[in-house]
Structure formats: C-alpha cells, structure tokens
Amino acid sequence: MLFNSYEFVFLFLPIVLAVFFQLGRRRSSTLPTLWLVAASLAFYAYWRSAYVGLLLASITGNYLAGLAIARYRKRRGRGLLAGSITANLVLLAYFKYAGFLIGTFNDLLGEQLAIPEIVLPLAISFFTFNQIAFLVDVYKGYVHDYGFFDYALFILFFPHLIAGPIVHHRDIIPQFRRFNFSFSSPLVSIGLMVFSIGLFKKVVLADHIAPYANALFDSAARAEALTCVEAWFGALAYALQLYFDFSGYSDMAVGGALLFGVRFPWNFDAPYQATSIIDFWRRWHISLSQFLREYLYIPLGGNRAGRLRRSANILLTMLLGGLWHGANWTFVLWGGLHGGYVVVNHLWRDWRARQRWLPRQPTRGERTAGWCLTFVAVLIAWVLFRAQDLSTTLAIYRSMLGFGPDSGWTLDARLLLPHLPATLQDSMAFAWIAALCAICWLPSLPRQTQALLADDAGTPPRWRLRLGRPWAVGTGILAWLAVMFLARPTEFLYYQF
C-alpha cells in the first residue's frame, strides 16, 4: 500500500486512527499497541501476503536472540551476537544479493550457473538494519526489558516500515508507553501538516519532474545520442526527483507517526545547501548516515588510528552503504565514489587546519565555492545511482564531458514530452527545474520541513509554526493539490531498497 494512494489516505489511515483513539480511551497502551501491530501487518500484506510469515519469523527470531544475548552476555554473548548478525545477513544476502553474486561469479569464471528469480521482500534492508542495531545494543547492555509486542511494533510500525527513516529502539519504544490518545492534541495538527507537505512533494513535485529524468536516462540506455546539455539536464532532473520523492516520503512518515504521538528523527536537512561532501552526508538520509557511523565506521576504528586507517574505514563504510542500496555494481561504485569524496574532504580539512595564514573559519567565498563543488560532485554521483548499468553510466558521463556521439550544446525537447510542441516542452522543462532548484536553494525558504516546527532564534519569524488559520489554510491547499494527483500513484524510489 502506498502512502500516496486513495486507499491509504481515505481508508486505511482514518480507520487505523479511529480505532486507535477509541482503544486509547482506557488509557492503557496494550490494546492500542496490539492494534497497531495488526494494522501494520495488514499494511505490509497488502503488497505481498506471502512474505508476512518471513517478516514475523525474522521479528520473533531476533527477539529471542536478544533475550539469549542478554541472558548469556558475559559468557557466550559475543558468539550469540555473531551468529544472530550472520543469520540476518544471510537472509538479506539470499533475497537481495543472490542473483548479483551468481551473476558476478559467472562473469569472472565464465560459468553458466542459473540465476534464481527471487522476489525481493519489501523493506528487508530497513528491518534487517533495525534488528541488527537492536542486537548489538543488547550485547552492549543498552537495551531495557522490552516486551515482545513493543519490539514487534518497533519493527512493524507502518509509517517507517517500508523505507525508513531507520529508527532506534531507545528513541521509539519508550514512546509506545505514552501514546497520544487525544484527537485535539497539537501533535495531530502538526502531523497532518507535515504529512500534507510530504504528499505534495511526492505527487506534485517529484512525480512531475520524473518524466524529464526518465526520458533522458532511458535514451542513454537505448544508446541514443545525447548532447552535453541533455546529459546534465537529465542528471539535474533526477537529483531533484530523488530529493523530493524521498524527502516527501520521510515527511509523510514523520507526519503519520505524529498522529499517534510518536516522534521520528528527521531524515533530511536541506542537503543541496551543503557546503562540503561531509556536510552533505550530515543532511542527506540522516538516519542511514548515523547507523553506518555508529554500527560500522566506529567499530572499524573510526578516526582513532591515523589518516590512512581513517581513509580505509571511510571507503569501506561507504562501499557497504552503496551495496546496501542495491545489488548492482553501479551502487557499489556510487558508494565508493562518495567514499573517495569524503576522504578527499577530510584531507583538505586537515591541510587547511595546518595553514596558520588562513582564517580559522571558511570565508564566504570558500563556502560558495564549496557549495558549487559539492553540488556538482553529488550530481555526477547520482548518474551512477540512477543508471541501470555501467554502459549507460559511461555513455552519460561521456556526454556530460562533451565527448558523446552528439557533443552539441542543445536540448532536444522531443525527448521530454513528445506530445507537446517543442517550444512548450522547453518552457515547461526549464520552468520545473528552476522552480524546484529555487525551493532547494533559496535561503529565504525554511531549510526543510523541520524548520516549520522550530521556535528558536535561528528560524525566521514568518516561518515559525503557529497553529492558527494561516497554517490551516496553507495545509488545506497543499493537501487539496496533492489529492488532485492521486489518481495514478507511483511507487517511492526508495521502495526498491
């Protein structure tokens, strides 16, 4: 079931909320918890009921493993933890990477092993990471005595189940004991507003820029000639599509959880305003960045063993982060490219810190140059992330450098929307790009949805949230515009991960 569908917006969510508030009249969290577990299972089963058993088996197995690790932590805890993590990774590898590994083996050794056709269980990467983090924290002694249904809801809670954000048990499970059972609570108003903003981002902004990105990447996949401008235009269109699609989903997840009184971590913080690649990864998919840092980079040694070891740890972390996104060499190389970016960024910072003649803080000119360089670097990497194979990637890169079959500097509007006159196509394409870039970059706009909820000196007064008529009208307009485009819902891009 998609957040951006009539079934979810007008049927599933209202019913779940109504029953939840009714059960909450007794001021006990037990029945509401059981109801949300059942509703979340139904939400997952709507996609493919055959994998509900797999999901429940994974949850039950990891909960029991956590109990065993907690009980025998001082004696056999390390072995139990290693076995539990291995079991999770084997399950993930079978469903997500079996075809990729066999295909790579065939290519390297010239074998002809059959590649199995395995349907990827929805959200397996996200619920696997959540459960591995839980087991590690049990071993470290950070986990309190949680009941099975609290743990099950932590994994299953439908706002974050499919595509995150990757939530932490210590932040989420305690909130299940203090649900919001009042429909008049300010959290409900805020939740509806944030959900509406996310829905608008997805169905109005992301889905309307998608045809431009798809047309140009599909043309490259068919080995059709692209000009330099077309290649850069396609990369920029995809960068905007991905941002508004994924940040829209994250806003809807945060807003949906707020309706029940549960606060999720924010997943985006105006990433395209980053002034360095390190800054970018503090703003983009924040929950994944924090997971990789806490459960992979730091255990590898982090930055405690010198520059060489730090660089190796960064590269390995980013390579595995790329592989987590998908079973394709394009994702591995995307992670490796970003790892290289981060290593170079750290080396630059180290060098700059040693230059006493330079000001301690970057100048405005440095920040501007850093922003331009960072955005171009991210844009180049997104080509790897979006292209279906390496040959398509190389074709686009050649065109971006002006070495493609058609090295001209024009934009063939017929690639974009063939049914419209060329002049109108050009106008629409550039208008959408300009509008979305403005939303991402203009400093007068809030840095991201969370700025609307802030009430501090750093937030312009006109953007501070006031639960009054202006915000209600604005939310209503956004929701109305979004609902107008729900007739043909499209999947969120991160559903494939």
Place of tokens 């390995």: 316
**Residue 338: CA count within 13 A, CB half-sphere:** 28
**Residue 109: CA count within 13 A, CB half-sphere:** 9
Structural contact between residues 8 and 253, judged by C-beta atoms closer than 8 angstroms: no
Structural contact between residues 479 and 9, judged by C-beta atoms closer than 8 angstroms: no
d(CA 56, CA 45): 11
Structural contact between residues 330 and 346, judged by C-beta atoms closer than 8 angstroms: no
Q: List the catalytic residue out of 160, 169, 285, 325.
A: 325
Does the active-site annotation cover 325?
yes
d(CA 225, CA 276): 33
d(CA 464, CA 62): 42
Residues carrying an active site annotation: 325
